[in-house]
Structure 1
Amino acid sequence: MPVTAPASPRHAPVGADPAAPRGETLPGPALSRLRPVDREVLGLYLLTRAALWTTAYCTRWLFPSDGDARAPEPVLASFERWDWGHFLHIARDGYFPGEDGTGPGPGPGHGDNREAFFPGFPLLLRAVHTVVADWTVAGLLISFVAGAVAVVALARIAELHLPGAHAGRRAALFLLLSPCAVFLAAGYSEALFLAFALPAWLAAQRHRWPLAALLAAGATTVRISGLFLAAALAVHFLMTVRTRRRRAALLALPALPALLYFWYLYERTGDWTAWKHAQERGWYRHFRAPWEAWAQTWHEAFAHTQATGYAALFQADLAAMVLGLVLLALLVRRRRWPEAVYIALTLWALGTSYWYMSVARSTLLWWPLWIGLAVGTLRGRTTTTVYVCLVAPLSTVLTLTFLTGRWAG
């Protein structure tokens, strides 16, 4: 759980140097050449990628969709599922296929809710496809490179909490072994979002506000969570910067991609809330009170109304929500207000729909969790061993669930 480094006062912003005057830029660049700890983290990243692809190879032989199959499915087929289809269709055909914009695209009449996905990943996928012919390979390559950027940035943020104590390596390890880590390798948007969001947060800790705002804007092109990041950056800015007028305008930059996307959808559909309506149609994200959403999810998880696979994923989302609330409480207790704002907005967005969906998966984006675990477990090796022993089986099970096509959430 999030724990403040002993040398930092409780009221200090995350990563701030207590000895530095408020508003001064900390020494050293936010992003610089690779250091030994960065290379160590990248080595760990490559090992976990090799382990995941070994699992994917074995899965296609041991768990074929047809029990009587004599030949395995192509290995890439394991990653061509669910959200990937939406990203592929957007990248290949756009949001409104057909010359008249009435093709099998968005809208309740077509059953395709692709406008629920922000354009950042599909645009990059289309660009990479100009060089890499296979769409799936292009998507996996984006996530591979983005994941490497993300784990290095995560490690550097953790090192700000407790320099020289291997906090960065542990934070990366905890993220890469987390139950839903398979989504960092798939052609999904989590890795790309983190590749923008974590360097943005690192830049903010160094008071590089133009860079932080620009990177946060990149995160907002990828996921709505970029707006939650922007809110956290705004709180951090207000807590640490004296002269605010000249730089305050930077805080609006991350919202610009979302506004442009909503405007684009409005121009094509006449609906300023087309993104929200697509979420409601496709994923039952109608607003409900938090206690109603909890009750509905609990019912689906334990009332035997769903197939066991679906029920198990509802149970995972319930556990993730409890974890998120505990994390939020600890952040508030430690007065980590920027991170608390980010987690609070995330939990509100996920916890106020018809039922919980993708809450467990969203833990990948909760960087205060991985940093807090890393800092908290530095006091002894036992806690790290416990984490690995408990989480590794869950990660393996959920990875198999995804690779075999049984994931639904």
Structure 2
Amino acid sequence: MTIATPLRPGQRTRTSPSGTGPSARRRLADRLRRFSPGPTDRNVLWLYVLTRTGVWTTAYCTRWLFPADRKTHDVQPALASWGQWDWWHYLHIAQSGYFPGGAGPWTDGWDNREAFFPGFPLLLRAVHTVIPDWTVAGLLISFVSGAVAVLALARIARLHGVTGQRTVLFFLLSPCAVFLAAGYTEALFLALALPAWLAAQRRNWPLAGVLACLATGVRVSGLFLAAALAVHFVVTAEAPRHWRSLPWVALPALPAALYAWFLHAHTGDWMAWNHAQERGWYRNFHAPWEAWQNTWKAAFAHTQSTGYAVMFQAELLTMVVGVVLLGVLLRRRRWPEAVYVGLSLWALGTSYWYTSIPRATLLWWPMWVLLAGWSVRRRGLKGAYICVVAPLSTVLTITFMSGRWAG
């Protein structure tokens, strides 16, 4: 029999309200440590700032060394070199909407702006209410989004036992890294898609669904992410109660459906997004081998100017890299990531010719994790990567900043 120890005079029984005992305090401390920036996160952010400084330095030098008029004595304004190509579509949508003054695909000289999803222009318009300069607002969105993206990428790498800092280094030195700094959608998409993937790894399906839904509002690639999340949900669901979260997995399809409805209401065409892609970027369906042949001809048959030809060569090389990546993912039975990369390759590889595949590599986070893992096991790979890819990244940054076509 257990005999209770009598209380001393004036002593009270020590009780802990529900959720405030030592175990609850330990759980709270664990949560705080999990979400507070540790040394690894600080190193990743420092690396991010250093590489952004390198991109901005290259942009500054490009303005002075590669002006449009070689005999000019005046340099362009500091922000002028960032306003290139797709940026103007996002800017025009943010300023005047998709169909200003009743203009649309039926108007001569139409810019096919409905080919771009509304997420980035909406955020750009919101930030513009605080920051008057449109270009600065776009650059700020990409800068903050890129910081979130690299932190999430580092944590995804750690889930696979790979050093997050090395993964982020390979990612930030990639040939098309300039698009992470410019007022484009890549950084914002990754800032939503990578945390969504992290949430799915923890089976937090409501958070994963909401973040993936927002990512789909930024880029159509969000639908590929949604498919990967669905596959991950199926292969990890273990109990009937887990299937109650299935509606969250379907949530990312909502922005695409709403956008199609919006375009139909203004154009009468349920396929208005696809038709804008076809008119502006020759993205009408072709068999994969036809797309390869057409791109090969553009790259090597001397039918294009040298600048375009070398970019088409880059498109071909990147498609090969993507197919190899897909094969590795399938061999390792990483089905969700394979679905994500495979759908991206199918969408990009079935147009008249390849367009923007090098940029798409920024969104293939499994490739950066795998590459970092291989570099640990194979000495010299990291140095070889930096020596080859860093100059390419600089060249493409100059190409973009000087107003030449850069994919």
Q: Considering the TM-score relative to the shorter chain, is it more than 0.5?
A: yes
Amino acid at match of 2:155: R
**5+ long unaligned stretches in structure 1:** 1-26
CA deviations 1:163-201 (Å, max 9, x no partner) are xx6x10011001100000000000000000000000000
| 1:240 counterpart = 2:239 | no
Partner of 1:124: 123
Alignment of 1:346-365 (within 5 A): 346-365=344-363
Mark the CA change 1:285 to 1:373 in structure 2 (over 3 Å): closer, same or farther.
same
Mark the CA change 1:351 to 1:223 in structure 2 (over 3 Å): closer, same or farther.
same
Distance 1:278 1:29 in 2: 47
Partner of residue 276 from structure 1, selected from 253, 269, 274: 274
Partner of 1:153: 152
Displacement of 1:262: 0.6
Asked whether the 8 Å contact 1:217–1:254 carries over to 2, the reply is: yes
Partner of 1:251: 249
Secondary structure (helix, strand or coil) at the match of 2:270 reads coil
CA deviations 1:269-325 (Å, max 9, x no partner) are 110000000000000001000000000000000001100000000000000000000
Distance 1:218 1:360 in 2: 24
Distance 1:51 1:107 in 2: 44
Displacement of 1:30: 12
Displacement of 1:32: 1.8
Partner of residue 193 from structure 2, selected from 176, 194, 197: 197
Distance 2:106 2:246 in 1: 38
Partner of 1:56: 59
Distance 2:32 2:325 in 1: 30
Distance 1:379 1:328 in 2: 21
| 1:66 counterpart = 2:92 | no
Alignment of 1:6-405 (within 5 A): 32-98=35-101, 102-103=102-103, 105-107=104-106, 109-162=108-161, 167-242=163-238, 243=240, 244-405=242-403
Amino acid at match of 2:127: V
Amino acid at match of 2:295: T
Displacement of 1:375: 1.4
CA deviations 1:127-146 (Å, max 9, x no partner) are 00000000000000000000
Q: Which has the higher contact order (CA 8 A, sep 6+)?
A: 1
Mark the CA change 1:329 to 1:204 in structure 2 (over 3 Å): closer, same or farther.
same
Partner of 2:20: none
Displacement of 1:28: 6.1
Partner of 2:16: none
Displacement of 1:215: 0.4
Asked whether the 8 Å contact 1:300–1:306 carries over to 2, the reply is: yes
Secondary structure (helix, strand or coil) at the match of 2:79 reads helix
Distance 2:199 2:106 in 1: 39
Distance 1:301 1:219 in 2: 33
Secondary structure (helix, strand or coil) at the match of 2:302 reads coil
Distance 2:54 2:406 in 1: 23
Distance 1:366 1:175 in 2: 10
Asked whether the 8 Å contact 1:213–1:250 carries over to 2, the reply is: yes
Displacement of 1:393: 1.1
Partner of 1:15: none
CA deviations 1:315-339 (Å, max 9, x no partner) are 0000000000000000000000000
Distance 1:215 1:352 in 2: 28
TM-score scaled by structure 1? Answer: 0.90
Displacement of 1:83: 0.3
CA deviations 1:372-393 (Å, max 9, x no partner) are 1111212244111111011111
Secondary structure (helix, strand or coil) at the match of 1:34 reads coil
Displacement of 1:206: 1.1
Give aligned-pair identity as a percent.
67
Distance 2:352 2:406 in 1: 16
Distance 1:349 1:37 in 2: 36
Asked whether the 8 Å contact 1:106–1:115 carries over to 2, the reply is: no
Mark the CA change 1:122 to 1:29 in structure 2 (over 3 Å): closer, same or farther.
farther
CA deviations 1:321-362 (Å, max 9, x no partner) are 000000000000000000000000000000000000001111
Asked whether the 8 Å contact 2:142–2:184 carries over to 1, the reply is: yes
Asked whether the 8 Å contact 1:108–1:281 carries over to 2, the reply is: no
Distance 1:228 1:321 in 2: 17
Amino acid at match of 2:250: A
Displacement of 1:249: 1.2
